[in-house]
Amino acid sequence: MYTTDRWKLQKQWQQKAAVSQNVKQQTFHGLPPETTYYFFVQAMTDLGFGPRSKVVSYTTPKGFVILYTQDLGGQDVHWQVESRLGQALRMAVIEGLEPDTAYNFKVQAHTSIGYGPESNTVLYKTPSAKDKIDLRPVEPPRNLRANILSSTSVVISWQDPGMARIYEEDREESICSATYTVRYRALDPEPSAFTQVTSPFPSLYLLDLEPLTRYEFSVKVHCQEKESPWSQPVANTTFAADFSQPPLIAEVHGRANSPDVAVLTWQPHLDSKIKEKKASHQLKVPEMLRVMIMSSSSAVVSWHDPSATRSMDKGGFERAGVPRTYTLRYRRINTRSPGHGGYKMIWPTFPSIFLLDLMPGSLYEFQVRVNRGFHHSEWSKVVVNRTLEAGETNLGNCSELSTLS
């Protein structure tokens, strides 16, 4: 029973009956704003009315109504209702929610002329009680670089500002497991549609580009359910098609009075620099070795293999069937006492790799060579770079510090 005049006779109060004895709550719709209502409850059985409850009052607000529920699947959805006063209100904090539970929310304005239309329904899942919530926005990647390796391949590398907070906060559980999306497109002769590729590391090796074409690249970070804006784009142009490219134009015609003869002619690609090469087991030394420091313990190492395009098809597979690998060696340089530590050796299959086992604030030297079968090239020139100090967030210097002979 309810009324706006508490002193009315009970029989003059409005009645809203529940159809089941198991119902323990009732929702009232269409009540005017800024009005005080009085309520009491009575049980009704075959024997008549039971004793009534004490009278409680409620004043409908002027402002907004927040409605939320855990379940939208049933026919009779019960929405929890909370009122918020203030016409200029744009935020409300809902407390007392269950951890690790999905809730649906919507908002409705409440003014002197009644309820406004409902907002769209939004879904939010509360975190587990063990989770720690990071409300900081995800920053876009910095220092994006596109290092062209051949007429069809490029290494994309970047820095994730969130990685620098691993040592700054001294608690690994506050750092999410980031993934990345790289998008790229050709700009010549007109911008094409973007192609998107995901990567679990802050570098990516692409093999499907077109020769002598300008490309645009950008990247963003995904951190749990949040993502960053796209980074500033960078552009670079692939090399011209080299001598490993197949002929571009082929023609065939017959020969007069020779029904069993076909004459095949062709012209090479106009951008190709086709030269006759003698077969040789000699492998060229990797070039353009770069070390990009990502944090106090990680770096992206990339290089250019000048002989790779001669033996690989456009998909990056060896035409001759002999697998090509690389050996990367690196060591920490001890600047306080004579001598250096021993080398760590790894064997990547692509000309870039993400290292995660470096020491903070340490100087390292790096070298790489090419392996194919029982043959290998000479070691590349040495590149030296220093990792960030633990907790350091200045990511501006990402190029190699020096190159040694």
Mean pLDDT of 190-218: 89
Do 203 and 97 lie in one domain? The reply is no
Who wins on pLDDT, 265 or 124? 124
Mean pLDDT of 176-189: 87
User: What does the alpha-carbon distance between residue 301 and residue 365 come to, in Å, rounded to a whole number?
Assistant: 11
Who wins on pLDDT, 9 or 197? 197
Mean pLDDT of 130-147: 78
In a domain? residue 256: no
Do 116 and 162 lie in one domain? The reply is no
**What is the count of structural domains for the chain?**
3
In a domain? residue 331: yes
In a domain? residue 198: yes
Do 76 and 152 lie in one domain? The reply is no
Domain boundary among 80, 97, 125: 125
- CB atoms under 10 Å from CB of 253, counted, come to 9
User: What does the alpha-carbon distance between residue 350 and residue 359 come to, in Å, rounded to a whole number?
Assistant: 24
Structural domain including 21 reads 2-59
CA–chain centroid gap for 81, Å, is 36
Who wins on pLDDT, 71 or 114? 71
Which residue type sits at 225?
E
Buried b / exposed e along 143-171 (16+ C-beta atoms within 10 A): bbbbbbbbbbbbbbbbbbbbbbbbbeeee
Do 226 and 314 lie in one domain? The reply is yes
- What pLDDT is attached to residue 12? 78
Domain boundary among 33, 59, 85: 59
User: Which of 193-197, 222-226, 356-360 shows the lowest per-residue confidence on average (mean pLDDT)?
Assistant: 222-226
Write the pLDDT tens digit of every residue in 262-289.
766 655 545 444 333 333 457 889 999 9
Do 306 and 383 lie in one domain? The reply is yes
Do 121 and 218 lie in one domain? The reply is no
Q: How does DSSP classify residue 178?
A: E
* Pairing of the two strands 324-333 and 344-346: antiparallel
Instruction: Identify the H or E element spanning 309.
Output: helix 308-311
pLDDT of residue 8 exceeding 70, the answer is: yes
Q: Residue 377 is part of a domain; what is its CATH number?
A: 2.60.40.10
In a domain? residue 219: yes
Do 94 and 153 lie in one domain? The reply is no
- CB atoms under 10 Å from CB of 294, counted, come to 26
- Token pair recorded at residue 245: 């490219």
Work out the burial of residue 387: count CB atoms within 10 Å of its CB; fewer than 13 is exposed, 13-18 middle, 19 or more buried: buried
In a domain? residue 324: yes
pLDDT of residue 320 exceeding 50, the answer is: no
Which residue type sits at 119?
S
- What pLDDT is attached to residue 234? 94
Write the pLDDT tens digit of every residue in 59-85.
776 677 777 888 777 667 777 777 665
Residue 47: pLDDT band (50, 70, 90) is: confident
User: What does the alpha-carbon distance between residue 126 and residue 106 come to, in Å, rounded to a whole number?
Assistant: 16
224, HSE (Cβ side, Cα atoms, 13 Å): 15
In a domain? residue 254: no
In a domain? residue 30: yes
User: Which of 21-35, 54-68, 211-225 shows the lowest per-residue confidence on average (mean pLDDT)?
Assistant: 21-35
In a domain? residue 11: yes
Do 300 and 362 lie in one domain? The reply is yes
Do 171 and 316 lie in one domain? The reply is yes
Residue 319: pLDDT band (50, 70, 90) is: very low
CA–chain centroid gap for 225, Å, is 9
pLDDT of residue 222 exceeding 50, the answer is: yes
Do 111 and 186 lie in one domain? The reply is no
Q: Where are the alpha helices (DSSP H) in 81-133?
A: none
Model pTM above 0.85: no
CA–chain centroid gap for 276, Å, is 46
Residue 309: pLDDT band (50, 70, 90) is: low
Do 93 and 150 lie in one domain? The reply is no
Write the pLDDT tens digit of every residue in 234-250.
999 988 765 444 544 56
Answer whether 332's CB lies under 8 Å from 297's CB: no
Domain boundary among 91, 125, 159: 125
Q: Residue 46 is part of a domain; what is its CATH number?
A: 2.60.40
Do 78 and 54 lie in one domain? The reply is no
- Token pair recorded at residue 261: 């003869």
